[in-house]
Amino acid sequence: MRAVVQRVTEASVTVAGETVGSILGPGLCVLVGVTHDDTPETAAALARKLWSLRILEGEKSCSDLGAPLLVISQFTLYGDARKGRRPTWNGAAPGPVAEPLVDEVVARLRALGATVATGRFGADMKVSLVNDGPFTVLLEI
């Protein structure tokens, strides 16, 4: 799994003009990509890492502050544009594989005690956020 994690003061995602998920920070906006060999165990490891990652103000984690997370599926994180001008998406797992694993990340975060908002898998989403810092990290699990 691959995740782009941004420290935010606020974030939201809309689908067809309807807000489907939003958080007020401090918190994290997390774009999650799934590849072919990811498993529920990979999803659990990502959830634990996100919950305990000390990137909020004062080197605190979401678990330290009870900070919310907005988790959004993002298959394009596995795009490969090394050749030519058009990315390939061969590294991204297909929807029937990826969706349950993104759901598993969310479920595991909630089981840890996190407040989690989400996007809508496979939808044309518009993401708005205020990146605090700016502070962005890439995680590979």
| 14 catalytic residue (yes or no) | no
pTM above 0.85, yes or no: yes
**Averaged pLDDT for residues 91-119:** 97
**Active-site position among 76, 115, 135, 136:** 76
| 135 catalytic residue (yes or no) | no
- Looking at residue 25, what is its pLDDT? 81
**Active-site position among 9, 75, 118, 135:** 75
Please tell me the distance from the alpha carbon of residue 23 to that of residue 65, in angstroms, as a whole number.
14
Nearest-CA neighbor of 75 among 52, 101, 108, 110? 101
| 6 catalytic residue (yes or no) | no
Contact call for residues 40 and 101 (beta carbons, < 8 A): yes
**Active-site position among 6, 14, 35, 74:** 74
